[in-house]
Structure 1
Amino acid sequence: MPELSAAAGGPDVLLPPGSAAQREALEAARRLLGPQRVRLAGAEQDPGRLLGPNASLFRSRRVAAVLRPSGAEQVPALVELFSRSTESGGLHVISTGRNWGLGSREPAQDDVVVLDLGDLDRVRELDVDAGWAVVEPGVTQGHLSRLLAHTPRMANVTVSAAATSILGNALDRGVALRGQRTEDLVGLEVVLPGGESVTVGWWPSGERTAPVYPHGLGPSTLPLFVQSNLAVVTAAAIRLPARPEALRVVRLSFPPAALAEATDAVRRLVAQGLTRGVPRIFDAAAGRAYGGAEDEYLVHLPVDGTAESVEALTKILTAEAHRARVFTAISDSDATDTATPHHEVARLVERGYAGDPDLADTVFRTKMGVGADQVDSEAGFAFFLPLIPFSGKAVARASRLLDDVVAATGVRLSATLHLLSGDLIDCVVAMKFPRHGEAAARAHRALDLLHGSFAEAGFPPYRLDIDHADRRDATACDPGALALTRRLKAVLDPNGALAPGRYR
């Protein structure tokens, strides 16, 4: 049976095999969107044809169709169509589809319909005085940052590609340079499985002058829709941080043997409020893209504020770093000293902390080896994302666990520590591998081993790839809490229409 293309669309178009309820919903979706916005799977085609390859080489799921609405106003009717019956197969929602390392566009289960919200790319409202914007799922960090250029506000950007979705990353609890993006969310426009559209949290309306405050009165429902399969999010109100008047990043280096001692020294600086945003520690492999010294860890400590406060805090940070007697290099001028070999990358890092993403993806290309449009087709790449306590002892243990996996599998790993507070670290473990031979199988085995050993150590993941979606049960601290979320799912989505298997 042929795929429905933009050139097709007559009444005799054949729908893919599946349940009668799914075929009925797809035919109604085709009438609603127009044939050019519905792509159907053929009867015997490669299951990955509709979505294309994924960088992690996870198994391509069977996908019945891809629906790409042109506007948010079409989404409620689509959601209602696929929530009528348990036989409809369910909807897997993507924004720009660049969830690299965790599955890209792939759903967790087979035989679903992908709802691609990439064309919902409007910045609906922007208030630089009050510090908020309303963005749709297809709005990228490059798009928003360009709108905010030369204003007193900035976007909280990641070090990923400029063409990645702000909202998609925030809803999966991604971490950016100013903090975890979930904390940027102040309101959501959500479509419930029955097709009802509601806003939760804070939302602009008319001449509303209420201050931006996401919790409201009574129970706060906004968090229900983060890392959630309870609704489809079609827009979000997000905070826009104030742009600092001045910013500098202090760079430190230390040898692997000093990992525990150096971590505790950095923790003291973070806990005492001497650094802002999200400081980072890179192992030697991860730090290479940032000009780190061979076989040494690299630390980025951002400082911002007024010019005078930045100057004072920088002096304090460098003095404390010298006093610790554990760092082999201490510098606060790499971004301004053009004679420094890694001047350009240091300048890009400081711009990122100030809300200006690297629109040319210079550092991203260095890390990935390809541009954003080639990652899924040419790169081999997977992520493991655990949380660990911010202590030298815990970080050293996590490093030993990584070494054990390298020894067992031969997979090349790199680790970046995002210092979220004086007590908490988001550890980003990246593995790059060739796309041929047994390399992908070894990487997937490494993922399995990492999930097992880190869970045993008490270091749970905070995001999951599609092949480990069931790990939520294994890492839950209370089975009763899981049961509560499943009761909510049964009430709001009794037919399991949304994101089957994702964070189940």
Structure 2
Amino acid sequence: MSELSTAVDSPVATGSVPGSAALRAALDAAGRVLGEERVARPAGDAARTRLLGPNTSLFRSRRVAAVLRPTTAEQVGEIVELFSREPDSGSLHAISTGRNWGLGSREPAEDDAVVLDLGGLDRVRALDLDAGWAVVEPGVTQGGLSRLLAHTPRMVNVTVSAAATSIIGNALDRGVGLRGQRTEDLAGLEVVLPGGETVRVGWWPGAGRTAPVYPHGLGPSTLPLFVQSNLGVVTAAVIRLPARPEALRVTRLGFPAPALAEVTDTVRRWVAQGLTRGVPRIYDPAAGASYGGAEGEWAVHLPVDGTAESVAALTGILTAEARRSGLFTEISATDGADPARPHHEVTRLVERAYAGDPDITDTLFRAKMGVGADKVDPEAGFLFFLPLLPFTGEAVAHADRLLREAAQATGVRLSATLHLLGPDLIDCVVAMKFPHEDDAAARAHRALDLLYASFADAGFAPYRLDVDHAGQRDALAVDAAAVALTRRLKAVLDPNNAIAAGRYR
């Protein structure tokens, strides 16, 4: 593990460019396309691991050949074509806003990549509030789009991360919002293929087009090929915009750790019977502390939305069910509405997020991370582990034991949030915070390795991989032939490995 890298504040337009003659020629041509001011090159070999600046997880800083910063989709097509010409031209690693925190931030999976920073593509190209969609570019953030939709009947499926995070970047890596999995928000993609050709897959708006939004089309659906993919560079997406609810309320529950399995099965019944909406969440004591959870206790957030009458009715049913169960030490459905309640402010922020309004000031984000979004990479120590669990009390209790074993073995503080993605599936978000120093980072990375091993042994595979575990895909695959099929597609579409050579390899 390397020490924390020193950030490079401004591009270096001169200096030696390591690598092959083909790579140097491609970078020179990229400079002519973009202008040299939008090409950052390392001043020397030692600077190649510092070009991206620090990453919050203290993953090994990769050697980077250059950073390219286009501002239009047309420029992206030209750049991809340049790097597709020869096998030695190098590989492009595309990022959106670069805030893939806990999984690598801006880092590519492999050394010697050329980073294609798409943050300058930041337009909302089109918006249809009646049909419920927006065409956005990779640099569009959830905070930016939510501000555009303020006081309209549509909203964004936001995550609990910072307002300045990319919608497309998160969706393409199968992130989870408070209304559901963000892959379900993708209706269409504009993709630059190796060679520079641009295609639009799924549903796409056109002049005079009145067809409803339907991403699957006729015949084989190609949109999913570009999710967690190294087959192309996405320059825009059609994002679904859910209808904004007329009313919304979050019921808060608290319970002691010994009741975990029984509470999980109880909440599963409520989810299966449609008593909640969006993505309910269960927090372990460490995760729940940021939301006002009682010390040492687990917490539950159950969102309900709809008309005012339906929200009142369903909230009443949930609270009555919770009381009858005898499992909970705290039951409250009024924290967000009653300023006198002790957790009013935090619950109000949670309810606003469920209603598509991210915390623009990042109040909760700062409380959880200890710093603002602009300070996460240089100052915070943070890792993610993201397994999927069956929605059963037995599985959740098993996962909790594995987390406690890893924490005990390493001394690392772990926190877990369970996103309930329907009656059968849980997205378990495990966060590891640590001081930005080598010993603490080494212990956190050891905990991460233990979790990858122990959860795989239990049959709980991750749905996203960090840059240091990109090679785990083969070991975690259900069918090796399916992985081989994607590699055959890669060989056909990208024979010169121009795009993200190490991504989900």
**TM > 0.5 between the two?**
yes
Residues 1:125 and 2:105 are matched in the alignment? no
Instruction: Give aligned-pair identity as a percent.
Output: 75
Letter in 2 for 1:405: A
Q: Is the 8 A contact 1:188 1:199 kept in 2?
A: yes
Q: 2:198 is matched with which residue? A: 197
Counterpart-to-counterpart distance in 1, 2:473 and 2:265: 30
TM-superposed deviation, 1:500: 1.4
SS of the residue corresponding to residue 494 of structure 1 reads coil
- Equivalence map 1:95-494=2 (5 Å): 95-494=96-495
Name the counterpart of 2:53: 52
What SS is found at the alignment partner of 1:126? strand
SS at match of 1:481: helix
Q: Is the 8 A contact 2:187 2:214 kept in 1?
A: yes
Q: How much has 1:316 moved relative to structure 2?
A: 0.6
Q: CA separation in 1, counterparts of 2:428 and 2:9? A: 42
- Give the number of aligned pairs: 499
Mark the runs of 5 or more structure 1 residues left unpaired by the alignment. none
Quote the Cα distance in structure 1 between the aligned partners of 2:132 and 2:193.
28
Q: What TM-score do you get using the length of structure 1 for normalisation? A: 0.97
How has the CA–CA distance of structure 1 residues 7 and 323 changed in structure 2, closer, same or farther, with 3 Å as cutoff? closer
Amino acid across the alignment from 1:332: A
CA shift digits 1:7-55 (9 cap, x unpaired):
976xxx4441111110010000001100100000122334332100000
Q: Secondary structure at the match of 2:75?
A: helix
Cα offset for 1:397?
0.2
Q: Could you give the per-residue CA deviations for residues 247-274 of structure 1, whole angstroms, max 9, x where no partner exists?
A: 0000111000110011111111001110
Structure 2 residue matching 1:461: 3-state secondary structure: coil
Counterpart residue number, 2:87: 86
Which 4+ residue blocks in structure 1 deviate beyond 3 angstroms? 3-9
CA contact (8 A) 1:401 1:454 kept: yes
Deviation at 1:431, TM superposition (A): 0.2
1:87 Cα deviation after fit: 1.1
CA–CA distance in 1 between the matches of 2:60 and 2:245? 44
1: distance between equivalents of 2:295 and 2:53? 37
Contact 2:15 2:42 in 1 (8 A): no
**Residues 8 and 50, structure 2, Cα contact 8 Å, conserved in 1:** no
Q: Which residue of 2 aligns with 1:65?
A: 66
Question: What amino acid is aligned across from residue 446 of structure 2 in structure 1?
Answer: R
- TM-superposed CA distance for 1:339, in Å, is 1.5
CA distance, structure 2, for counterparts of residue 284 and residue 221 of structure 1: 42
Counterpart Cα distance in 2 of 1:321 and 1:491: 55
Could you tell me how far 1:336 is from its partner in structure 2? 1.2
CA distance in 2, matches of 1:6, 1:184: 35
Distance 1:361 1:307, change over 3 A: same
Which residue is 1:32 aligned to? 33
The answer as to whether partners of 1:137 and 1:166 remain within 8 angstroms in 2 is: yes
- Cα deviation digits, residues 193-249 of structure 1 (max 9, x gap): 010001000000111111000000100000000000000000000100000000000
Give the whole-Å Cα distance in 2 for the aligned partners of 1:141 and 1:6.
Answer: 26
When structure 1 is superposed on structure 2, of 361-370 and 494-503 the one drifting more is: 494-503
Distance 1:4 1:249, change over 3 A: closer
Post-superposition shift, 1:437?
Answer: 3.7
User: What SS does structure 2 have at the residue aligned with 1:497?
Assistant: coil
CA distance in 2, matches of 1:15, 1:123: 38
TM normalised by structure 2 equals 0.97
Deviations 1:450-485 (A, max 9, x none): 000000000000000000001111110001101110
Cα drift, residue 295 of structure 1: 0.5
Amino acid corresponding to residue 125 of structure 1 in structure 2: A
Contact 1:50 1:63 in 2 (8 A): yes
Q: Where do 5+ consecutive residues of structure 2 fail to align? A: 1-6
Contact 2:8/2:53 (CA < 8 Å) preserved in 1?
Answer: no
